[in-house]
Amino acid sequence: MSSKTKRFILPEDEIPEQWYNIQAEMVNKPMPLLHPATHKPLKAEDLYPIFNEACSDQELNQTDAWIPIPEEVRDMYKYYRSTPLVRAYGLEKALDTPAHIYFKNESVSPVGSHKLNSAIAQAYYCKQEGITNVTTETGAGQWGAAMSYAAKVFGLDLAVYMVKVSYQQKPYRRSIMQTFGAQVTASPSMSTRAGKDILTADPNCSGSLGCAISEAIELAQATPHCKYVLGSVLSHVSLHQTVIGLEAEKQMAMAGEYPDMVIACFGGGSNFGGVSFPFLRHKIDGTHTDTRFIAAEPSSCPKLTHGKFEYDFGDESGYTPLMPMYTLGHNFKPANIHAGGLRYHGAGTIVSQLLKDGLMEAADIPQLESFQAATLFAQAEGIIPAPESSHAIAATIREALKCKTEGKSKVILFNLSGHGLIDMTAYDMYLSGDLQNYTLTDEEIAKYLKDVDVLQ
């Protein structure tokens, strides 16, 4: 313990008024999205049938580095932002490390995760454009919970396809979405052609984000005044999440430090992009060239560390545009790990380009290491972390222990993207020794990667 400041919170008038669009400042821009049928580069208008127009425009905007946050969105942010930046003295003590560890605590958002930052924005834009119904997918349910509340705030009707394994593992998240007034269906379901096809081929299919996305898009297209909203992967979602890193930058300045490492867990990339892009801009502009950016992904779904950079679909049925991404193939079947939000086959286009260009790195974390890290963090800091966020904690611990070995007092910032209070079944299994690792062999990965290039 220390009598020094533990938490850094911004005054309300310091909450960012603009999101940061890293695409505008990247030297090598992400390659274009391609139309799934024609394979021609997409224009924003091509996305309008699926997404609201504002987000479609943001998706392809490679020109404007700063995008104003609408007043109504900022107004909603003020109910829970800024989230605290916390110096993790407890964890430092438990590890006996000279590293200075900070975490941005997004778990204190009303719905328990960072997902609300983009949910509010997407619901707002839909409402503005006269949309009355929205559909979406959710893995562990963090995005679904956030979107359910945001839809309620802006008076939209929401249908959520929840990945079946999470629907079963985390029934409380379904209840949360229903309490907010959303309609929730386990995916794959018989309510869509995509779901029927998948269930016909495999009646016991436990689902994937890729499959739930297909179902949600299909329902949106079959429903009047309805659009689809997505919780990660796409560039406009990462854009909305940069409010995290922009706040953290100011808060690190309050603490008088600048991170040597920025770490976040990685599913589709919006959480990682949200905390890291604002710091990455100083790597791009040459003011902080030494900062390392580490994406922590599960060993069971290792697209960044073991995937291939190719054009691939974002969903299982091939309804989305083709995206240039690190991927394990859109038919990849992730193991039933408890970090449901990280069970996705591909990475967003911005992050994929950054990784290709060596501006960031990735670490793959076995499930047991993530829960060991989670339990240590819980006992040291009092917060039960989400299984997803626990991957970032595990990567942080690896680096903090390296600092100890090397006697170096580096500054580590990680994003605690959400709490794990709905995931206690997984903790129970970990404590009783019933959890296992799912690590893919090189042969298994090679088998998946063989069919990745959908352009051939």
Binding site for a copy of itself (CB under 8 A): 1-3, 5-7, 9, 12, 71-72, 75-76, 78-80, 86, 90, 108, 110-112, 116, 149, 152-153, 171-172, 175-176, 178-181, 375, 378-379, 381-384, 421-422, 424-425, 427-428, 431
> Measured from the CB atom, is 20 or 180 closer to a copy of itself?
180
> Measured from the CB atom, is 15 or 454 closer to a copy of itself?
15
User: Min. distance of Cβ 402 from a copy of itself in angstroms?
Assistant: 26
Return the bridge partners of 183, or none. Answer: 159
Angle at alpha carbon of residue 369, lines to 368 and 371, rounded to 5°: 65
> Measured from the CB atom, is 186 or 280 closer to a copy of itself?
186
> Measured from the CB atom, is 180 or 414 closer to a copy of itself?
180
User: Min. distance of Cβ 125 from a copy of itself in angstroms?
Assistant: 16
Q: Cβ-count burial of 341 within 10 angstroms (0-12 exposed, 13-18 middle, 19+ buried)?
A: buried
Closest-CA residue to 284 (of 350, 347, 236, 354):
354
* Distance, CA of 347 to CA of 300 (rounded, Å): 15
Q: How far is the first Cα of the chain from the last one, in angstroms, to the nearest whole number?
A: 59
User: Min. distance of Cβ 381 from a copy of itself in angstroms?
Assistant: 7
Closest-CA residue to 318 (of 34, 15, 27):
34
> Measured from the CB atom, is 130 or 155 closer to a copy of itself?
155
* Distance, CA of 62 to CA of 416 (rounded, Å): 29
User: Min. distance of Cβ 81 from a copy of itself in angstroms?
Assistant: 9
> Measured from the CB atom, is 229 or 351 closer to a copy of itself?
229
Closest-CA residue to 103 (of 84, 119, 116):
84
> Measured from the CB atom, is 65 or 378 closer to a copy of itself?
378
Under 8 Å between Cβ of 233 and 346:
yes
> Measured from the CB atom, is 76 or 354 closer to a copy of itself?
76
> Measured from the CB atom, is 176 or 354 closer to a copy of itself?
176
The 10 Å Cβ neighbour count of residue 235 is 25
With tokens 């069919």, the residue in question is 451
User: Min. distance of Cβ 419 from a copy of itself in angstroms?
Assistant: 8
For 30, 33, 99, 302, 328, the CA distances from 312, given in Å and listed in that order, are 14, 10, 39, 16, 9
User: Min. distance of Cβ 275 from a copy of itself in angstroms?
Assistant: 20
> Measured from the CB atom, is 153 or 454 closer to a copy of itself?
153
User: Min. distance of Cβ 421 from a copy of itself in angstroms?
Assistant: 5
User: Min. distance of Cβ 441 from a copy of itself in angstroms?
Assistant: 32
User: Min. distance of Cβ 248 from a copy of itself in angstroms?
Assistant: 17
The 10 Å Cβ neighbour count of residue 38 is 9
User: Min. distance of Cβ 332 from a copy of itself in angstroms?
Assistant: 31
